[in-house]
Amino acid sequence: MLQSIHSTLAYGVLAVLVLAIINAFLGLSAKRNFTPKDRSISLIALIFSHIQLLVGLFMWASTFDFDFKALGLVKIDHPITNILAIALITIGWSKHKKEESSNGKFKKIGIFYALGLIFLLSRIPFKHWLGL
């Protein structure tokens, strides 16, 4: 059941992250003001990613075995890289709050969320996720 929740929630996380990144780069290129709507989109992406991390860590901890032959993408690489991805997203959120200008806010969200998304995409176990 946890794996099903984790896999399904992943689609939502990817969607809201892409939305937040596109919104940030469109806001940056249009030189518009950072509005409460922009903040909400970024915050939803942050919250979804943190929920996904918590579900994943709970699933990992409840299924982890010490069969060192089985360690690899799903047991080690995936969790560590995804923790780093969520850390990048969180850093982007924190840094945007300290920015005075709208351009600075959009830049911080866009860059850090995009780096987090790249990390996430690099460690998705597509073989398991898509049933290949």
Residue 63 confidence (pLDDT) = 74
Q: Residues 70, 20: contact at Cβ < 8 Å?
A: no
Quote the percentage of the chain above a pLDDT of 90: 65
Mean pLDDT of 118-125: 87
Q: Residues 95, 108: contact at Cβ < 8 Å?
A: yes
Mean pLDDT of 88-92: 97
Mean pLDDT of 51-56: 93
Looking at per-residue confidence, does 60 or 53 come out higher?
53
pLDDT per position as a tens digit, 15-43: 999 999 999 999 999 999 999 999 999 99
Looking at per-residue confidence, does 7 or 93 come out higher?
93
Token pair in block for residue 107: 């830049």
pLDDT per position as a tens digit, 60-71: 888 766 665 556
Cβ neighbors of 126 (< 8 A, separation 6 or more) are 132
Residue 127 confidence (pLDDT) = 72
